Amino acid sequence: MKKNILITGGAGFIGSHVVRLFVTKYPDYHIFNLDALTYAGNPENLKDIENAPNYTFVKGDITDEKFVPVLFKTHNFDGVIHLAAESHVDRSITDPFAFIRTNVFGTCNLLNAAKNAWKENYEGKRFYHISTDEVYGALEFDGSFFTEETSYDPHSPYSASKASSDHFVRAWHDTYGLPVVVSNCSNNYGANHFPEKLIPLAIHNIKNNKPIPVYGKGENVRDWLWVNDHARAIDLIFHKGINGETYNIGGHNEWTNIDLIKKLCEIMDRKLGREPGTSAQLINFVKDRAGHDLRYAIDASKLQRELGWEPSLQFEEGLDKTVDWYLSNQEWLDNVTSGNYQKYYASQYEER
Ligand code: NAD
Ligand code: TYD
């Protein structure tokens, strides 16, 4: 069935995988990718599909109160998959207001535009909000998991802004009847991940013989999921999820940061033909992140039980593939780390 779908933040890490999946899997859908191209947005992530007949890139800001309603009016969207966000915890510590603006206000601006565009008839419409497990706070080393019923307890400005946006999404559902669905996912890894985040940063530094910064003692635990498996879950939830419901997505794959970095060092030694143990010498324990959450772990059993989703890849296979991707896409990494990607695309995508 022909549909116009708005995906926000599609030039970023996870968004680019979601856009590619939808553009290639659903030729009857027209995918509109609304992205402000902040430092984290890189249209090079979508070079392979940028000329597809069912794909349109729109440079614009989700906080723009004039433009967003016009966009909804012009394209008569059937669905929204909302990923645009400021996403890096460390940046939220130094510049919290950018997070409040985009993650809270931007989400409300989209919700309101969807409500106003769809209010005559919500039939067949859906607003899907992509969120994070970080809204639930931090777990102890006690084998517990975040479920969909876990109370929100965010600690960083990033997680507080995402928690706030989740509440607003539910408020638009409960107050105005907007058909919404929310998912909260654990840490993603894979191709096109901006190298300020742990895994791509470590790969880049190991490759270039630079120190690998490990915060505190490296004891914090994250639950890692391959980004393509997150995109598959988003596809499933968008099509089969129930309005008003929340779905947790996670890999059942907990690693302390230090064990993960040691594993990456081993893989990199092998791939780069270095003596075993060479890359691990780059590990550098640095000052801990302020308010650093100890442990995240997701119980994704609802998604598995109700919609039949499960991760497709074992972590070691996924890490191996990820390292291969960064090693064979040195130009992408060089463009991102030098800032060249922004200069190049600034000339291609003019401000509206
Ligand atoms: P990212 O930082 O890689 O990409 C964000 C994208 O949003 C970029 O393309 C950026 O240009 C765009 N953007 C930012 N502000 C905008 C604005 N005001 N208007 C329009 N576009 C804007 O982020 P990501 O890691 O791909 O995360 C995507 C979503 O998934 C976020 O909502 C994040 O909270 C959520 N999430 C991320 C993870 C993870 O591990 N990365 C895990 C769970 C949930
Ligand atoms: P990150 O990739 O920033 O994701 P998040 O904060 O959303 O979980 O960080 C993952 C973990 O790695 C987190 O516990 C912080 C830690 N970390 C480091 O030890 N060193 C680093 O340089 C970075 C960026 C993160």
Active site residues: 133-134, 158
Residue 159 CB: number of other CB atoms within 10 A? 26
**Residue to substitute in 46, 80, 83, 182 for testing ligand 1 pocket (most ligand atoms within 8 angstroms of CB):** 83
User: Positive or negative CA dihedral for 56, 60, 62, 65?
Assistant: negative
User: Measuring CA to CA, how many Å separate 303 from each of 94, 149, 181, 240, 310?
Assistant: 35, 14, 13, 11, 8
Q: What confidence score (pLDDT) does residue 338 get?
A: 84
Chain position carrying tokens 């794959």? 253
Q: What confidence score (pLDDT) does residue 347 get?
A: 55
Q: What confidence score (pLDDT) does residue 1 get?
A: 78
Q: What confidence score (pLDDT) does residue 341 get?
A: 74
Backbone angles phi, psi at 264, to 5 degrees: -65, -40
Q: What confidence score (pLDDT) does residue 337 get?
A: 87
Using CA atoms, how far apart are residues 333 and 352, in angstroms rounded to an integer? Answer: 28
Taking residues 242-247, what's their average pLDDT?
98
Q: What confidence score (pLDDT) does residue 120 get?
A: 86
Q: Which atom of ligand 2 is nearest to the CA of 87?
A: 7
Q: Which atom of ligand 2 is nearest to the CA of 156?
A: 6
Report the percentage of the chain scoring pLDDT > 90: 93
Taking residues 209-222, what's their average pLDDT?
98
110 CA distance to ligand 1 centroid (A)?
Answer: 15
Pairing mode of beta strands 246-249, 180-185: parallel
176 CA distance to ligand 2 centroid (A)?
Answer: 38
Please work out whether the CB of residue 39 comes within 6 Å of at least one atom of ligand 2.
no
Domain boundaries, the chain: 3-192+224-255+292-315
**Residue to substitute in 35, 44, 87, 187 for testing ligand 1 pocket (most ligand atoms within 8 angstroms of CB):** 87
Question: Over the stretch 303-342, which tens digit does the pLDDT of each residue have?
Answer: 999 999 999 999 999 999 999 999 999 989 988 988 777 7
- Give me 75's structure tokens: 């394209």
264 or 342: which leads in pLDDT: 264
183 CA distance to ligand 1 centroid (A)?
Answer: 14
The third-level CATH classification (topology) of the domain covering 3-192+224-255+292-315 is Rossmann fold (3.40.50)
**Residue to substitute in 86, 146, 196, 222 for testing ligand 2 pocket (most ligand atoms within 8 angstroms of CB):** 222
Taking 80 as the threshold, does the pLDDT of residue 346 lie above it?
no
Taking 50 as the threshold, does the pLDDT of residue 40 lie above it?
yes
For 293, the 3-state DSSP assignment is: coil
Please work out whether the CB of residue 215 comes within 6 Å of at least one atom of ligand 2.
yes
Q: Which of 97, 242, 244 is nearest to 177 (CA)?
A: 244
283 CA distance to ligand 2 centroid (A)?
Answer: 14
Using CA atoms, how far apart are residues 227 and 18, in angstroms rounded to an integer? Answer: 9
For 111, the 3-state DSSP assignment is: helix
Question: Over the stretch 99-154, which tens digit does the pLDDT of each residue have?
Answer: 999 999 999 999 999 999 999 899 999 999 999 999 999 999 999 999 999 999 99
Taking residues 180-194, what's their average pLDDT?
98
Taking residues 229-251, what's their average pLDDT?
98
Q: Which atom of ligand 2 is nearest to the CA of 89?
A: 6
Q: What confidence score (pLDDT) does residue 106 get?
A: 98
Taking 80 as the threshold, does the pLDDT of residue 244 lie above it?
yes
Taking 90 as the threshold, does the pLDDT of residue 348 lie above it?
no
Taking 80 as the threshold, does the pLDDT of residue 351 lie above it?
no
Please work out whether the CB of residue 187 comes within 6 Å of at least one atom of ligand 2.
yes
Taking 70 as the threshold, does the pLDDT of residue 22 lie above it?
yes
Q: Which of 59, 63, 62, 65 is nearest to 11 (CA)?
A: 59
Instruction: Tell me the DSSP string of 125-184.
Output: -EEEEEEEGGGG--B-SSS--B-TTSPP---SHHHHHHHHHHHHHHHHHHHH---EEEEE
* Average pLDDT, rounded, for the chain: 96
Using CA atoms, how far apart are residues 136 and 156, in angstroms rounded to an integer? Answer: 11
Taking residues 75-94, what's their average pLDDT?
98
Q: What confidence score (pLDDT) does residue 342 get?
A: 72
- Give me 306's structure tokens: 């109700």
Q: What confidence score (pLDDT) does residue 352 get?
A: 39
Q: What confidence score (pLDDT) does residue 43 get?
A: 93
Taking 50 as the threshold, does the pLDDT of residue 38 lie above it?
yes
The secondary structure of residue 274, as a DSSP letter, is: P
Q: Which atom of ligand 2 is nearest to the CA of 88?
A: 3
The secondary structure of residue 196, as a DSSP letter, is: T
